[in-house]
Structure formats: C-alpha cells, structure tokens
Amino acid sequence: MCNVCGCGAGEARIEGQSLQPGHAGGGLMAYRRLRSRNERQHLPADSRWVAVGSPVAPSGEKPLGESEASLLPSAAPAGLIHYGQGAAGGEVPGMSQARMVRIEQDILGRNNVHAARNRAWLAVRGILALNLVSSPGSGKTSLLVRTIEALRTRIPLAVVEGDQQTSFDAERIRATGAPALQINTGKGCHLDARMVEQALEKLSPVEESVVLIENVGNLVCPAAFDLGEAAKVVVLSVTEGEDKPLKYPDMFAAARLMLLNKVDLLPYLSFDVDKALDFARRVNPGLEIICLSATTGSGFSAWLDWIEARRRETLALRHSAPLTCNLPSGPESHADRC
C-alpha cells in the first residue's frame, strides 16, 4: 500500500515489477510513521517521520526503537510537499481536553496532485492521453488494436494497459507493433494517477504522440480517479443493455465521449439504441457519442476523426503558449526532464 495516497503499491505491478515505494518521479517522498506509540508526546513534530527508503529507516526493516528514533535527523528534504498546509490550523476550543481542528482536505487530493503532474508532463510534450473506461469485455482492447492499426502510419501511439492480473492485453497491443506497458493492479479495481505516472516514465512516449490508457474493466470507481488524461472515453457495448448509464451514472457523467461498441450485433439483440443514448444524455447532457464496431470497423472514421481533433487541440496548446513545467524541483523531479 502506498503510504502517501493509499494507492496500493504493495499490490500493484508494472510489467511484473512492484511499484516504487516512494514517488520517485515527482520529488515527493513517501513517509512512514515510526512505530513506537509513546514517542508521540516527546518528539518534536518533524522527527516522528522518516522517509521511506532513506538510509536511516529502509522500509521493511524492523521498527526503530525509541532512543534510535530520537536520534534521527528530521526528515524534511527540499522536494517534500506537505499538502493543504495553508488550509489547516483554525482551531476551535472545545470541552474538557478535546478540541476541534479544521482540516478541509479533499480525500482524493493525493490522486489529484499526481494527476495534475501527469497532465503537465503530457502538456509540455504535446502528448494527448485518453482514458478508456468500461465494464469488463465491452471491447476496449479490440478498439485499441483497430485504432492503432488505422492511425499508426500517421501518428505515433503508445498504450498503458490496466488489468488486475495478466499481461494479455499488453501483448495484444504489442502484436500491432505499438509500445505497450501493462499495469497489474492486484486487488485494486482501478488505475490511479500515481500508477500512470510511473508507467509514463517507463513507457516514455515520444513527443506529440497519443497515449491510450485502458483502465481496469469496472464501471464504478475509475470514474473517481483522474489520471491526468485529456478526456475519459466510456465504452458501452450493445450486449450490456441500454440501462447501464442509469445504473452506473458516475462513469457516464465523468466521460467526454461515449463509444457504443459492437453495433454489428444489433440485428441479433433487442437493444434499443435511442433509449441507451437518451439515458446517457440524461446523466451527462454534454456527452458526445459515436456508435461503432471494433469487429467490422463501421463508425470508425468518426472515432478516428475525434482523436485527431483532440490531438490538434493538444498540439495547438503546446505551440501557442510556451508551457513551462512549474513543478517542485526535487532531486528526482519531473522538472529535470521538462
């Protein structure tokens, strides 16, 4: 488990390797609380924390004793960010010894910090990133394979694959010749921005390319986790029933585009397309919709045009405003590479 954002580092793997314990990519350190309980009262605030992976307390070693702990230098590297420091502090005196402390911190704040960093990293390179979300089996990988085959002579593409287990999907992508990286989330049911941050570093997509991120097949929580993408694309297939947008509204609300896939199967089903589109627009009035088939390729030109339009926007942004990467410059910060 990532101690900084709870994002499941102990479980998640990129290409079979554990995620780095800290946030090496961003000048941010993961901190681990020292175990001893009664030292809380005696130590100055800073010395209660040691950087995970620092020489003084490598993670996984036995907890330090109290006397050792008190000898530790306070761990406050230059790249450390303490979020929400400004917001806290308004204390209300209460009854007896109890008192109220205002915190006012977004529960997904950690993820959002990683996501913002990814977004900046992508923007300075003119890379368009799309986050494909859907229930399992609606055809994300099939869509990606066909998309890559159609675009790869014109646009460099790379893929980040998220699944709980196996690297089958990344292998399917690599068979097209495009670079792909597999993230296995283990027990985790969604990709988070930190996993994608590390995946982007490993994948190092070329400038002005398109990165397609296939999220874990799950119509629920990927909606809540911003990865730093330009847009979420929700895939609904006609075999799933037209009521999905109402049953899982959050995903359809979070998406900019919906792909209604497997339309080649419509003659064999009683799926009501108009009803499905109406339900989706109830949840998200601004939702763009394209009906297509990853098997036959029908409707694909609209989808490819959509990608190219988003890419032009990304490139225009890059060339109009000289984007600077104003990120904290820690020893291993993204700033090195901007």
Ligand X SMILES: Nc1nc2c(ncn2[C@@H]2O[C@H](COP(=O)(O)OP(=O)(O)OP(=O)(O)O)[C@@H](O)[C@H]2O)c(=O)[nH]1
Binding site for ligand X (CB under 6 A): 134, 136-142, 163, 169, 217, 261-262, 264-265, 293-295
Interaction between residue 5 and Zn ion (CB under 5 A): yes
Task: Report the residue closest to Zn ion, judged by CB.
Answer: 5
**Shortest distance, CB of residue 158 to ligand X, whole angstroms?**
17
Q: CB burial class (10 A; 0-12, 13-18, 19+) of residue 338? A: middle
Interaction between residue 190 and Zn ion (CB under 5 A): yes
Using an 8 Å Cβ cutoff, are 310 and 231 in contact?
yes
Per-residue binding letters, 249-278, with another protein (x by CB under 8 A): xx-xx-------------------------
Q: Which does 194 bind (CB under 5 to 8 A by kind): Zn ion, another protein, ligand X, none?
A: Zn ion
Alpha carbon of 204 to those of 10, 209, 226, 231: distances in Å? 23, 10, 20, 20
**Shortest distance, CB of residue 149 to another protein, whole angstroms?**
34
Which of positions 77-106 make contact with another protein (CB under 8 A)?
82-85, 88-89, 94, 97-106
Per-residue binding letters, 135-164, with Mg ion (x by CB under 5 A): -----xx-----------------------
The secondary element (H helix, E strand) that includes residue 150 is helix 140-151
Pull the structure tokens for residue 277. Answer: 């589109």
The residue from 80, 151, 189, 315 that contacts Zn ion (CB under 5 A) is 189
Interaction between residue 137 and another protein (CB under 8 A): no
The residue from 7, 64, 213, 238 that contacts another protein (CB under 8 A) is 7
Taking the alpha carbons at both ends of the chain, their separation in whole angstroms is 29
SS3 for 234?
strand
Q: Please, which residue, 105 or 298, has the CB nearer to another protein?
A: 105
Which of positions 194-233 make contact with another protein (CB under 8 A)?
220-221, 223-224
Using an 8 Å Cβ cutoff, are 76 and 28 in contact?
no
Instruction: Tell me which amino acid residue 170 is.
Output: A
Q: Please, which residue, 13 or 262, has the CB nearer to Zn ion?
A: 13
SS3 for 79?
coil
SS3 for 128?
strand
CA distance 34 to 31: 9
Give the torsion through C-alpha atoms of 53, 54, 60, 62, to 10 deg. Answer: -170
Interaction between residue 118 and Mg ion (CB under 5 A): no
CA distance 114 to 112: 5
**Shortest distance, CB of residue 317 to another protein, whole angstroms?**
24
The residue from 108, 151, 335, 338 that contacts another protein (CB under 8 A) is 108
Give me the residues that bind Zn ion (CB under 5 A), please: 2, 4-5, 189-190, 194, 221
